[in-house]
Amino acid sequence: MNMHTANFIDVGRWNGQAYISDWQRTSAGTLEVVDPANGTVLCSVGLGGPSDIARAALTARAAQPAWAKMLPAERASILNRAADLLEQHGTELAGWIMRESGSIHAKAMIEIEHGALFIRHAASLAMQPSGMFLPGMDGRTNYARRVPHGVVGVISPFNFPLVLSVRSIAAALALGNTVVHKPDPRTPVSGGVIIARIFEEAGLPKGVLHIVPGGADAGEALCSDPNVAMISFTGSAKGGAKVGEICGRNLKRVQLELGGKNALIILDDADPDIAASNAAWGAFLHQGQICMATGLVLVDRKIEAAITERLVTKAKHLPAGDPSTNQVALGPIISDAQVSSIQKIVDDAVAKGAKLMAGGTHDGRFYAATVLSGVKPGMLAFEEEIFGPVACIVGFETDSEAVELANRSDYGLAAGVISGNVGRAMAVGDQLNVGQLHINDQTVNGGPYAPFGGRGKSGNGTRVGGPADIEEFTQWQWVSVKDAATAYPF
């Protein structure tokens, strides 16, 4: 084992390959892993196609009964070892997250820390009670127990690649499922290889976990594979709708964790310094490429000027550049296409009367922290998820107008309300159509102990994390036991 060395990831072991029971070549060739900050090729992985997905799913199905039969304490100890390895090699592994996904160091370390917490939470699920006795209808023993689905297919995005993959993989494994995982092709190391390496070194039996980097074709193959019982998808509403459609056609259980247009509501009794710092963190962390990013900063008109001024000062002091210099607050945007999409939304807002108070420009992939004021319904900046570092300020006159503006979105992921009066903030928060409500905090909050998910276009009502995991990653089985078979009238 490569414990405590700076080469835990061990590129030579897997370069050009995927993890299908073990490291091996794939049918669709290789995929270069590129640093979005400077275009450097970091390594390559095996690119999976439909035939690789089918092979992985078949093997995962064969491995599942023995994995589910293993003592829960043994499954939990493998998971806990994987969490330990992630932390022990955290500095090295965070370096990969920084280079591959354009993360600053602090964000990469959040992924390591939360990744380990999610795995430990999952390990604890293996030890939970898994059934209940039911009222008898005759003399038989009558009970219901939670059983694994079988093979769970996981599909994850590029933005928090480690955490958003491991939160589903670990919970599914802990509860006796085997897993075929397809990370985003732009982040196959942070969202795939790292996870394969920690579970490989932790002693996970072969066949229980497969990691096949690939594009939408591989994802769709996973959704229609007859050996896969459930899909856990995190990504865009557009991708999620397609995944839901294929899973529906194939009668698979599906968990959809999608995008958001999240409002931070700042009431007139909020402290302007604190409120502006909440808005800056929510809008600019990881260049705004977060599903829970603060997409609208709704501010009471009485303090709008004070908040705007502070937010502009912050934006102008947040440098964007290559995270490997450790001198920047914002790294690169994941792709040129995404940079163009952000620019289009900012230009549309300005053309329709919003004021550009800071930023609004980019140097290649590095988009400056941007503040738009006077954003209104009808502008793309008001309606759409931007996935870029853009704070959109919208003024309101009354608390009920703030609620109305926040609830206009088709999405319903997260919201925050900041006020000097918790009761007043709760009265506003109670009316918001969201899966996550944060009083006196901004919108970017996550962790393993809360059931996370969205309403409306943000998902299909499923949740991941905390008490939701047993509900999502297992299903009921009713068992009735008679002492002996008895005769029927026929």
Q: Find the part of the chain contacting ligand NAD (CB under 6 A) among 120-128, 150-158, 171-179, 274-282.
A: 150-158
Residues 41-60 that bind ligand NAD (CB under 6 A): none
> Toward ligand NAD, which CB reaches closer, 278 or 338?
338
The CB-of-32 to ligand NAD minimum distance in angstroms stands at: 16
Q: For residues 256 and 460, is the Cβ–Cβ distance under 8 A?
A: yes
Among 322, 385, 469, 472, binds ligand NAD (CB under 6 A): 385
Among 200, 257, 399, 472, binds ligand NAD (CB under 6 A): 257
> Toward ligand NAD, which CB reaches closer, 188 or 395?
188
Question: Any contact of residue 35 with ligand NAD (CB under 6 A)?
Answer: no
Question: Any contact of residue 285 with ligand NAD (CB under 6 A)?
Answer: no
Q: Which of 52, 23, 44 minimizes the C-alpha distance to 218?
A: 52
> Toward ligand NAD, which CB reaches closer, 44 or 80?
44
Three-state SS across the chain? Answer: CCCCCCCCCCHHHHCCCEEECEEECCCCCEEEEECCCCCCEEEEEECCCHHHHHHHHHHHHHHHHHHHHCCHHHHHHHHHHHHHHHHHCHHHHHHHHHHHHCCCHHHHHHHHHHHHHHHHHHHHHCCCCCEEECCCCCCCEEEEEEEECCEEEEECCCCCHHHHHHHHHHHHHHCCCEEEEECCCCCCHHHHHHHHHHHHHHCCCCCCEEECCCCHHHHHHHHHCCCCCEEEEECCHHHHHHHHHHHHHCCCEEEEECCCCEEEEECCCCCHHHHHHHHHHHHHHHHHCCCCCEEEEEEEHHHHHHHHHHHHHHHHCCCECCHHHCCCCECCCCCHHHHHHHHHHHHHHHHCCCEEEECCCEECCEECCEEEECCCCCCHHHHCCCCCCEEEEEEECCHHHHHHHHCCCCEECEEEEECCCHHHHHHHHCCCCCCEEEECCCCCCCCCCCCECCEECCECCCCECCCHHHHHHEEEEEEEECCCCCCCCC
Question: Any contact of residue 215 with ligand NAD (CB under 6 A)?
Answer: yes
The CB-of-385 to ligand NAD minimum distance in angstroms stands at: 6
Residue with tokens 């964007």: 320
The CB-of-325 to ligand NAD minimum distance in angstroms stands at: 26
> Toward ligand NAD, which CB reaches closer, 208 or 292?
292
For ligand NAD, what does the binding mask look like between residues 163 and 182, x meaning CB under 6 A? -x-----------------x
Does 401 participate in catalysis according to the annotation?
no
Question: Any contact of residue 158 with ligand NAD (CB under 6 A)?
Answer: yes
Question: Any contact of residue 236 with ligand NAD (CB under 6 A)?
Answer: yes
> Toward ligand NAD, which CB reaches closer, 234 or 443?
234
Among 243, 342, 372, 418, binds ligand NAD (CB under 6 A): 243
For ligand NAD, what does the binding mask look like between residues 436 and 475, x meaning CB under 6 A? ------------------x---------------------
CA-CA distance, 263 to 413, in Å (whole number)?
A: 9
> Toward ligand NAD, which CB reaches closer, 159 or 177?
159
Q: Which of 100, 111, 257, 304 is catalytic?
A: 257
Residues 286-325 that bind ligand NAD (CB under 6 A): 291
Residues 408-437 that bind ligand NAD (CB under 6 A): none
The CB-of-373 to ligand NAD minimum distance in angstroms stands at: 24
Question: Any contact of residue 111 with ligand NAD (CB under 6 A)?
Answer: no
Measured from each CB, the residue nearest to ligand NAD is 219
Question: Any contact of residue 101 with ligand NAD (CB under 6 A)?
Answer: no
Q: Which residues are catalytic?
A: 257
The binding site for ligand NAD (CB under 6 A) comprises 155-159, 164, 182, 184, 215-216, 219-220, 223, 234-236, 239, 242-243, 257-260, 291, 385, 387, 454
